[in-house]
Amino acid sequence: MTIDITPHLNFRGSARQALEFYRSVFGGELTVVSYADMGNDDPATADHVTFGQVVSDDGFRVMAYDVYPRLDWHPGTDPFFVSVRGTDPDRLRGYWDGLAEGAEIRQPFGPSEWAPLYGQLTDRFGVTWVLDIAAEYPAA
């Protein structure tokens, strides 16, 4: 199994614009999944990004989303996550178990609406990690 480590940037309503900007600078393929695409019909957040990324052939990769409205967030507070993606559930579970020692579990490791396997925690050093097996989404 190989793993990818990717910066996962967090915004409040401007993730799409940020991803479009990064794509204009670095090139690559843009993928955006909105809250509406996931079944959210709240007009205030339907356009917000629940999953987005830019991936270029030369190796540039960045992910981004608009923080859920129910979560406290301000610029500079949780500005990014470290995303660890893999294909082997057992290896990801091992990474999760190691990082979870002394961590704040933000979302338990398991199946989610958007990924076959997903978990989020803030480790004992204050770094927030997302571990998952990627779901396939069409390019925007």
Over residues 29-62, the pLDDT tens digits come to: 999 999 999 888 788 889 999 999 999 898 889 9
How far apart are alpha carbons 62 and 8 in whole angstroms? 6
pLDDT at position 136 over 90: no
How far apart are alpha carbons 130 and 90 in whole angstroms? 16
pLDDT at position 103 over 90: yes
Task: Please tell me the predicted confidence (pLDDT) of residue 137.
Answer: 67
Higher pLDDT, 10 or 79: 10
How far apart are alpha carbons 3 and 136 in whole angstroms? 16
pLDDT at position 81 over 80: yes
Q: What is the mean pLDDT of the chain?
A: 89
Contact criterion met (CB below 8 Å) for 137 and 33: yes
Q: Give the residue-averaged pLDDT of 85-89.
A: 89
Task: Write out the H or E segment, with its range, that includes residue 39.
Answer: none
Task: Please tell me whether the overall predicted TM-score, pTM, comes out greater than 0.95 for this model.
Answer: no
Q: Which domains does the chain carry?
A: 4-133 (3.10.180.10)
